[in-house]
Chains A and B, each alone.
Chain A
């Protein structure tokens, strides 16, 4: 598929669902899943716009960094949340 519009539609939908997931669902795992969806949408946008600008390397590198930082954030947030849940149980 060539063109920006289909990719942008998918990315927009993922972003909207991710934000809704963070707003509507109360549990921490759902909020983190929403965060993963939002960051996936942003990575998709990075790659699509970089492809359009005929410089795919910068966009791909930015998307790789976004994914890595998102995973670090998810791992740290889960460690903190599990610690808090355990402290609550005590």
Chain B
């Protein structure tokens, strides 16, 4: 366990150092966030129990929030931390404790092979996307200095822009809330009928 922690710290320091040598302080911040995100995702894939994976997912959520912050989307970073780290992770870890184990055999080779099979086509698609983006615009702009929360709020309620998308998202959330409450109520009724047996 100590060896794993030491290895993770060394990889993290190497990523920060590489980013700092390439692009100074923003590069170091990017390296830290990227290493957190990818390391957490790998921990999520190779975690032995769902609880371990949920803890590793927390690092991914923090790293992704840092990347959003680096891109200038402060509202999205806060949303990611509040909803993702606060809500989804709590749900996942509590469900992992209550649900029975799947009884799977943990296989490192299987995970690495699947990662290669999925990763190579994805890398090719990303390479093509970068080519198209370079063709369209040679010099990408940097992040803006001010917060975009006010402009985003106006866009979300503007009927000609994103109001319909917001309404659809709200509808989906309402359906999910009602369905979740229905299933929980049904489970409680079943438990009451069986005299408190789970």
Contact = CB atoms under 8 A, between A and B. Distances in A.
B34 interface: yes
Interface residues of B, number: 89
B99 A29 contact: yes
Contact of A26 (B70, B79, B102, B175): B102
Nearest to B47: A30
A73 B125 CA distance: 27
A9 B152 contact: no
A81 B27 contact: no
Given A40-B61, A86-B187, A18 B130 contact: no
B104 A12 contact: no
Nearest to B74: A60
Contacts of A58: 155, 161-162
Contacts of A82: 95, 98-99, 183, 187
Nearest to A63: B76
Interface residues of A, number: 75
B44 A33 contact: yes
Contacts of B100: 85, 88-89
Interface string B50-89: 1001100100110010011011110110011001100110
Given A33-B57, A72-B173, A47 B99 contact: no
A12 B64 contact: no
B14 interface: no
B127 to A, nearest CB: 9
Contact of A20 (B57, B61, B95, B114): B114
A44 B95 contact: no
Contact of B102 (A14, A27, A72): A27
Interface in A37-70: 37, 40, 43-44, 47-49, 51-54, 56-58, 60-65, 67-70
28 contacts: A8-B130, A14-B60, A15-B122, A21-B45, A27-B99, A29-B54, A33-B50, A33-B54, A36-B84, A37-B41, A40-B37, A47-B68, A52-B141, A56-B148, A57-B148, A60-B148, A61-B165, A63-B73, A63-B76, A65-B165, A70-B88, A72-B177, A75-B180, A76-B179, A78-B91, A79-B183, A82-B187, A90-B190
